[in-house]
Amino acid sequence: MNYNEAYELLKAKNQLHILRYYDELDNEGKESLLKQISDIDFSILDNLHAKEEKKESTIVPIKAMMLEDIEKKRDEYKSAGLKAIKAGDLALVLLAGGQGTRLGFDGPKGTLNVGETKDMFIFQLLVEHTLDVVHESGTWIHFFIMTNVKNHEQTTTFFREHDYFGYNRDYIHFFRQEMVPSTDFDGKILLEDKGRICLSPNGNGGWFSSLERAGLMDTIVKDNIKWINVFSVDNVLQGIADPVFLGAVLKEGYVSGGKVIKKADPHERVGVLCMKDGKPFIVEYYELSEEMAYEKNERGEYAYNYGVTLNYMFPVDKLMNLLDKKMPLHVVKKKVPYINNEGELVKPEEPNGYKFETLALDMIGYMETCLPFEVVREKEFAPIKNATGVDSIETAKALLVKNGYTL
Ligand code: UTP
């Protein structure tokens, strides 16, 4: 794309400000900016104006498999899960492509050290949880790690420098997710430098297609992997490759599963697994009506009482079907550093723009069934989202200590 073509395109799209500093760039910078412009998928901006189709839908709760149900069949589930793991049926996908803007930590979130007297990095904890299952099953489990263009180098270097925390290097695979431009609240694409468009990761819902684009499907197919346990980077206590979870999904004949926790109160800010128009669906806390929040089931408990923890079990064959589907793109308000009209870098304290993201939770809707599998909240839910307060470094550290860790 040459300058004139870029100019015409941006004029038509009402985004001419992107060329504001073009003349100040050296030749390499000019070329790079033109390339970035030609790479922009402008169709994502349509999502800013898309009116949500108001469709009547029916949402009903799904009965969670509760702790006492699981306890009764723990041995049976565990041996089924371990059998599948030993057969090489399970692989893992760690979602580490987020930018962690709420935490505000400078670096990939997984490199955060929560130790006090010794190193205890988030990545290290997640690998160590997995190693427990590797040792128990006597089987190495493929461990895929999704990064983004900006944190890829730091993430891979970090793992290498820490010798993969004792994991078998041959079973660790990194892949990058795609990036999309961010805009201000008026829909203008932001610049992060005079010659660089603000790009942000395209959400955690595209992990399977990014994995495929990275050429990693060969490993999945060659090793005949049937299940993928996908999970977030920030929950430092979660059970990964949990044989009881996998065994419960298998034994009870569910298509997929999600680890859930009992909500602290009816309005806790977590999504709830339910059924919408006959398909599994996660209703976000802000979509939960007052009536639904307090609805009781036949056991006399809140019907929408189990929140998702971003730890899912998906079957590979169903994920394959998803590859040609267009996942819904969500418009999310976030803090996006940008350069202003004076060419100065601004690091906003409050959300100032939109990012466009697909969400892993939308994948649930493509599965016929999804098992809400309860885990003990205090033992498996310690997410680090914020620097202080709720779901923060402090709360996660306190839970680690409560679970016997010496920080
Ligand atoms: P969050 O929803 O917490 O988003 O991600 P985030 O970007 O990490 O953090 P904030 O909202 O800016 O503070 C949940 C999980 O999904 C991953 C994150 O790394 C985390 O494990 N994720 C999120 C991706 O892998 N890619 C993305 O584009 C977004």
For 105-162, the pLDDT digits (tens) are 989 999 999 999 999 999 999 999 999 999 999 999 999 999 999 999 999 999 999 9
Which letter does DSSP use for residue 44 in this model?
Answer: G
Strands 183-184 and 353-357: antiparallel
Mutational pocket test of ligand 1: of 204, 354, 392, the residue with most ligand atoms within 8 Å of the beta carbon: 204
In this structure, are residues 230 and 363 in contact, taking their beta carbons and an 8 Å threshold?
A: no
Residue 292's pLDDT is what? 92
Q: Whose CA is nearest to atom 18 of ligand 1?
A: 98
Which residues of 54-182 form beta strands (DSSP E)?
Answer: 59-61, 90-95, 142-147, 172-176, 179-181
359 Cα–ligand 1 center, Å: 9
155 Cα–ligand 1 center, Å: 15
Residue 51's pLDDT is what? 65
Q: Whose CA is nearest to atom 7 of ligand 1?
A: 98
For the CA of 99, the nearest atom of ligand 1? 7
Largest CA distance in the chain: 71
Mutational pocket test of ligand 1: of 109, 144, 209, 232, the residue with most ligand atoms within 8 Å of the beta carbon: 232
Mutational pocket test of ligand 1: of 234, 333, 359, the residue with most ligand atoms within 8 Å of the beta carbon: 234
Helix, strand, coil content of the chain in percent (nearest 5): 40, 25, 40
Q: Whose CA is nearest to atom 21 of ligand 1?
A: 232
Mean pLDDT of the chain: 94
Average pLDDT over residues 218-244: 97
Q: Whose CA is nearest to atom 5 of ligand 1?
A: 98
Sheet with 330-334, strands from edge to edge, namely 183-184, 353-357, 330-334
d(CA 367, CA 353): 33
169 Cα–ligand 1 center, Å: 25
For the CA of 201, the nearest atom of ligand 1? 28
In this structure, are residues 225 and 88 in contact, taking their beta carbons and an 8 Å threshold?
A: yes
What are the φ and ψ backbone dihedral angles of 375, each rounded to 5 degrees? -125, 160
166: region left, alpha or beta (phi > 0 left; psi from -120 to 50 alpha): left
In this structure, are residues 126 and 83 in contact, taking their beta carbons and an 8 Å threshold?
A: no
Runs of H (alpha helix) within 215-278: 217-222, 243-251
In this structure, are residues 373 and 70 in contact, taking their beta carbons and an 8 Å threshold?
A: yes
Which letter does DSSP use for residue 387 in this model?
Answer: S
Residue closest to 19 by CA, chosen among 6, 28, 31, 35: 6
Query: Which amino acid appears at position 193 of this protein?
Result: D
Neighbouring CB atoms inside 10 A of 138's CB total: 9
d(CA 123, CA 92): 14
Q: Whose CA is nearest to atom 9 of ligand 1?
A: 100
397 Cα–ligand 1 center, Å: 20
Instruction: Evaluate the CA torsion angle 385, 377, 399, 155 in order and state its sign.
Output: negative
Strands 279-283 and 272-276: antiparallel
345 Cα–ligand 1 center, Å: 24
153 Cα–ligand 1 center, Å: 18
For the CA of 102, the nearest atom of ligand 1? 13
Residue 169's pLDDT is what? 98
- Percent of the chain at pLDDT > 90 equals 83
381 Cα–ligand 1 center, Å: 16
Neighbouring CB atoms inside 10 A of 49's CB total: 8
Q: Whose CA is nearest to atom 23 of ligand 1?
A: 98
* Ligand 1 cavity residues, CB under 6 Å: 95-103, 146, 177, 201-204, 232-234, 310, 334, 357, 385
For the CA of 109, the nearest atom of ligand 1? 19
In this structure, are residues 370 and 257 in contact, taking their beta carbons and an 8 Å threshold?
A: yes
Virtual torsion, Cα 350, 353, 357, 361, nearest 10 deg: 40
Residue 52's pLDDT is what? 62
Q: How far is CA 108 from CA 25, 61, 105, 152, 261, in A?
A: 30, 36, 8, 9, 26
Please provide the DSSP assignment of 302-350 as one string: BTT-EEEEEEEEEEHHHHHHHTTS-PPPEEEEE---EE-TTS-EE--SS
68 Cα–ligand 1 center, Å: 32
Average pLDDT over residues 347-351: 92
What confidence tier does 45 reach under pLDDT thresholds 50, 70, 90? confident
Q: Whose CA is nearest to atom 14 of ligand 1?
A: 232
Sorted by sequence, the CB contacts under 8 Å of residue 398 that are 6+ apart come out as none
What are the pLDDT digits (tens) for 292-345? 999 998 888 899 999 999 999 999 999 999 988 888 888 989 899 999 988 999
d(CA 312, CA 402): 25
201 Cα–ligand 1 center, Å: 9
